[in-house]
Copies of this chain bind each other. A is one copy, B any other.
Amino acid sequence: CVGAQAQSSVQLYGLIDLAVGSYETSGSSRLGRVESGGMTTSYIGFSGKEDLGGGLAVNFALDHFLRADTGEAARFNGDAFWARNANVGLSGSFGTVTLGRRSTPMFVSTLLFNPFGDSFGFSPAIRSYYGSTGTLAGDSGWSNGITYASPRFGGLSATVTYALDETPGARDANIGGNVLYFAGPLGLSFSAQRVQAVFDSGDETAVQLGASYALGAVKLFGQYGQIREDQGAVDSKDKIFQLGASYRIGEGSVLASYGSRKTTGTTESKRDIASLGYDHFLSKRTDVYAVYMYDKIRDTDSGNTVAFGIRHRF
């Protein structure tokens, strides 16, 4: 076993998150599981940055999601191998222009304004929009994208992604953007997107507002969003809100979040998710966590999940 050669600009990094617990989503049966990616989807990646002079730089990233419980590649069967990041960008005083696949602006806003971050396992916000329990179309990352990210003006920054639809006889592209504002204890976010590429007709539009406020050891989070699907036979609207808080205690944090999604239109439904967790850092790179999650689809048995995990960054 030998390490890679010392020289330059390629970073090798990643994260493994594995938990053991009793898992039960609303309407499903309880199952003991070892699960990957409860708090953060496990991944390994390669990235680099080259200074081109004159204030210009080029950067790239190739990041691979994986399921560390079974050793399977990607987030699910059929997912792209480099689904987390596969892009190259040019940055300068004008901002950054990136080509390829990367996270959507709305996904970034969703993860920044809830206490469970990008947790596909336990974040009520993420689970309302994304993954197997979410209703937002078009994944949390878009392929074939052209992304412009502005420089920061004071606490203000903006990102917009235009993702081409390359199916023969293709319909129009996806477009999404966000505006973020951070100043002292306050954080604000507005994001919006329109997805067409995955539909034969019509589209889906979504908007989301987010806010966070830090009060000493406490940080409060709130999000409100709407999704409108309009594809002829299917015409529905989701209203999604999330309220959360984190409370720092020494090397740990108590995390609490409640989210609710109400769907009206072609099919009507409601789903409430609440998560309470404690996340303890053994080092800057390694934490252990315990989470309880309550999941309730209207007119369906509630689900109760308890999981204990470890998350290691490298």
Contacts and interface: CB of A to CB of B under 8 A. Distances in A.
A14 to B, nearest CB: 7
A168 B31 CA distance: 8
A299 to B, nearest CB: 21
A82 B72 contact: yes
A1 B46 CA distance: 10
Given A50-B286, A71-B80, A168-B31, A60 B312 contact: yes
A153 interface: no
Contact of A14 (B32, B46, B314): B46
B5 A3 contact: yes
Q: Is the interface of A mostly helix, strand, loop or mixed?
A: strand
Interface string A183-210: 0000000000000000000000000000
Contacts of A99: 18-20, 34, 69, 310
Interface stretch (A138-146, A234-242, A252-260, A268-276): A138-146
A70 interface: yes
In this complex, the interface size class of chain A, counting residues with CB under 8 Å from chain B, is 35 or more
- Complex copy number for this chain: 3
Nearest to A74: B81
Given A168-B29, A310-B90, A34 B144 contact: yes
Given A4-B46, A88-B310, 15 more contacts: A2-B48, A3-B5, A5-B10, A16-B87, A20-B146, A29-B168, A31-B166, A33-B166, A60-B314, A66-B81, A68-B86, A68-B101, A71-B85, A73-B81, A99-B310
A9 B16 contact: no
